Amino acid sequence: MNAQDVILGMLQKRSYSGYELKHYFESVFSFFFDASFGTIYPTLSRMEQLGYITKESIQQDNRPNKNIYTITDRGQEQFRLYLSSGIEKQTFRSDLLMRLYFGEFVERDVVIKWLQDELQEREKKLAQLEADKFCNEADKNMTATQRICIQIGIESSRTMVRVLSESITSLENL
Amino acid sequence: MNAQDVILGMLQKRSYSGYELKHYFESVFSFFFDASFGTIYPTLSRMEQLGYITKESIQQDNRPNKNIYTITDRGQEQFRLYLSSGIEKQTFRSDLLMRLYFGEFVERDVVIKWLQDELQEREKKLAQLEADKFCNEADKNMTATQRICIQIGIESSRTMVRVLSESITSLENL
DNA sequence: CCGTTCATGTAAGGCGTTACATGATTCC
DNA sequence: GGAATCATGTAACGCCTTACATGAACGG
């Protein structure tokens, strides 16, 4: 799975500009995927050249022009190809956990500070996911699998919040 | 955090060969970090050139030669520099969750198969982490922060196993 | 006999990030 | 007046992966 596969998936439902795609990546997908503008724009250009998508330039008043991209038959085929390929194993990389592993080399207070900052981050993310779930449930816009997707994000975040809180307490009582 | 930082951390405690480092990455760190030989060996070479570590070649009977690396004062300094730098935010990327999000474009049975395969994978990983915890607790070799580290891995894995099981059941009853 | 373990390395390529560049409008 | 939003792009660089190359010994 790379940025191209994800963009093809998004364009199955409707057309998007690069700027709009980025917003979706930041809200719905942020739990398990991310891509910056430095990836999105060049990827869209390449996809257009490969004939997977077509571009339509929209003139706007008081705003910069927009490029709206639409998927082609070739793009559809490419997306099916992705879906039939083997699933890549997930990757998780955490600087915090690595530092925690080497925690004996820093002051206890520093470690606690690290954990508190992370806890705050996780709580924010959890709130975001729950708000997102609420929005979409109200809209009845969600498929069964999308609901599972967001549920996994929420439950994982809750677990992290809980374990981080417990860990901070246990370190403070040391 | 990159491979160099992690290797410097490992070498704080004792000297290692590249091959041994890889084994540690696969067992203890596999939950939140990974590096292949294609990263490890070139990184060790560069670190030696930069004066962070020194190499000692060990002749072995009936085995290939080993290069054992030891950290220098310069390396120590570099590691302290890493520990005092800002913590990078974690990254998580999951092909499975992305496909789940686009689940409406494939057969239900395919989705269930994806989830079952993932569940098996997570169960295996969980068993591995629990065995690891048991080993290290018996040895009393673990610091408080390392215990937190592994606890986070175990609790996260348990949550994943639970939610995946529930999701499979809910899809089967659809 | 065949697979696994031990052991080190190179080369090419993929995929991504950050920083830079531009510039109008709108909200506080 | 300054920050945020809207909007698109490029260039340099970082970091990692996969595949290839080599080869002995040991266990089943």
At A31-68, the pLDDT tens digits run 999 999 999 999 999 999 999 999 999 998 888 899 99
Average pLDDT score over residue span B24-37: 94
**Which value, to the nearest 10 degrees, does the dihedral of the CA atoms of residues A125, B123, B98, A162 take?**
-10
Inform me whether the pLDDT recorded for B155 exceeds 80. Answer: yes
A140 — pLDDT class (breaks 50, 70, 90): confident
Distances from the Cα of B166 to the Cα of A148, A151, A161, B159, B169, angstroms? 9, 11, 21, 11, 5
B45: CB within 7 A of chain C nucleic strand: yes
Q: What are phi and psi of B69, to 5 degrees?
A: -105, 140
What pLDDT score does A61 carry? 81
Interface test with A, best of B24, B76, B82, B87 (most A CBs within 10 A): B87
Interface test with A, best of B82, B93, B122, B145 (most A CBs within 10 A): B145
Find the closest chain B residue to A79 by CA distance: B105
B169: CB within 7 A of chain C nucleic strand: no
Average pLDDT score over residue span A130-138: 81
What pLDDT score does B174 carry? 84
First and final CA of chain A: distance in angstroms? Answer: 44
Inform me whether the pLDDT recorded for A98 exceeds 80. Answer: yes
DSSP letter assigned to residue A36: -
- pLDDT tens track for B91-141: 999 999 999 999 999 999 999 999 999 999 999 999 989 988 887 777 778
What mean pLDDT is reported for chain A? 95
**What's the gap in Å between the CA of B171 and the closest CA on chain A?**
8
A131 — pLDDT class (breaks 50, 70, 90): confident
With CA atoms as reference, report the closest residue to B142 among B34, B13, B32, B23. Answer: B13
**What's the gap in Å between the CA of A61 and the closest CA on chain B?**
35
**Strand order, beta sheet including B66-71:** B16-17, B66-71, B53-58
Average pLDDT score over residue span B50-72: 94
B17: CB within 7 A of chain C nucleic strand: yes
Encoded tokens for A160: 């992290």
A65 touches chain B (CB under 8 A): no
Average pLDDT score over residue span A12-26: 96
Q: Kindly report the CA angle at B121 between A94 and B142, in degrees rounded to 5?
A: 50
What pLDDT score does A155 carry? 98
Find the closest chain A residue to B172 by CA distance: A144
